[in-house]
Amino acid sequence: MFLRAVLNTAHRMVYPFLPVFARGLGVDISTMSLLMTARSLLGASSPLFAPIADLRGRKFGMLTGIVIFSVGMGTVVLYPSFLTLAIALILAMLGKYMFDPAMQAYFGDRIPYHQRGTALAVTEVAWSMSFIVGVPVVGFLIDRFGWSAPFPIFTILGLIIFFVIWRIVPHEDPHHQPIFTSRENYRAVLTSIPALAGISIALWASAANELVNIIFGVWLEDSFGLKIIALAGASAVIGVSELSGEGLVALTTDRLGKPLALAIGLVSNALASILLPFIGQTQSGALIGLFLFYITFEYTLVSHIPLVSELVPSARATMLSMNVTGHAIGRALGAFLAAFIYQKYGFSLVTFTAVGFNVIAILALWRMQKG
């Protein structure tokens, strides 16, 4: 949980400070939005790399992801620019998308399905911790030392994570038998209707979330004039909401059943999307609306992971990495549409588009259960 919080902070810090990074680099919001789109699209290539955890072992997959992350962060340290920022964000995301399926498969190998929702919810606390602790620290560093200040810290932390994983994760793994070819694993996932439906849920739910992710910092700054430290505070509010969502998953998902919990999350996130522009007329209302939006999405996301971890048990890491691809494509779609919709039609249409994506995800869930 603590190690993943570092990776997640590097991944998420761009969202609240999108206008700050844009000003520091001398580019506009649309250019940054395109960078986020490119980052997500390249993240869709994760199945080319992430199944290495099925081939070479879970530890090897986690360590490889950390190396890619650290190299990405180090590029900005060497030469801060828009190009190196793009390289850093893309490599950090690829590293995270290689680390996460390997880690989730490591726990999936060891933890029975009826308890897995609670266990994975604990590891997902790293997602909310990145906004509660990580992003405010990043905001402090940027405010004091400039937009590139966090990257040396992330480079050092990446090296520390590599050392910790190397020491605490056993090299010999009796819970997993490495395979010699990934072809059968890909075939097992791509020929399973429930598996494809599960990946589709990730795609549409993430597209809905990314629409608001990309725009909320710009929206808060445009509407209320929030500056760097205030945006960091807003991020902490979102982090608390996500922590609450992860806690709800730990308490309820295994008891309710994963599909029912996921349905509740998707419906609730759609309702929160409808509510957001209406209560967001004031600064406090906007923060309450964002709290509801992110707690419902986090409940959806964390309920979804243990469900897909058991759809193709024989190819667990490959399935989880393909699920990451669904998230990546969804985030690319949301990032591509966000700035265009916001600049042309305003924040209300951004949130109503998110509702539409959630409805499609609910239909995919219905198809998965039918399968």
**Residue given tokens 């395979």 in the structure block:** 179
pLDDT at 12: 85
Q: Are 55 and 101 in contact (CB under 8 A)?
A: no
pLDDT at 182: 63
pLDDT at 50: 57
pLDDT at 239: 80
Q: Are 159 and 74 in contact (CB under 8 A)?
A: no
| List of residues 6+ apart from 265 with CB closer than 8 A | 296, 297, 299, 300, 301, 303, 304
Question: Cα separation of 203 and 188, whole Å?
Answer: 20
pLDDT at 51: 66
Question: In 3D, which of 201, 212, 224, 223 has the Cα closest to residue 291?
Answer: 212
pLDDT at 47: 64
pTM for this structure? 0.74
First to last CA, the chain: 33
pLDDT tens readout for residues 85-113: 999 999 998 898 889 888 888 888 888 88
Question: In 3D, which of 368, 328, 337, 356 has the Cα closest to residue 266?
Answer: 356
Question: Cα separation of 299 and 269, whole Å?
Answer: 9
Question: Cα separation of 1 and 8, whole Å?
Answer: 10
- In this structure, which topology does domain 2-370 adopt according to CATH? Growth Hormone; Chain: A; (1.20.1250)
Give the amino acid at 182.
S
Q: In the chain, which stretches have pLDDT less than 70?
A: 43, 46-47, 49-51, 53, 173-182, 226-229, 231, 371
Question: In 3D, which of 82, 95, 93 has the Cα closest to residue 34?
Answer: 82
Spell out the domain ranges in the chain: 2-370
Question: Cα separation of 107 and 122, whole Å?
Answer: 11
pLDDT tens readout for residues 4-63: 999 999 988 888 888 888 888 888 888 888 888 888 777 677 667 656 767 777 888 899
- Degrees, nearest 5: CA angle 242-37-192: 75
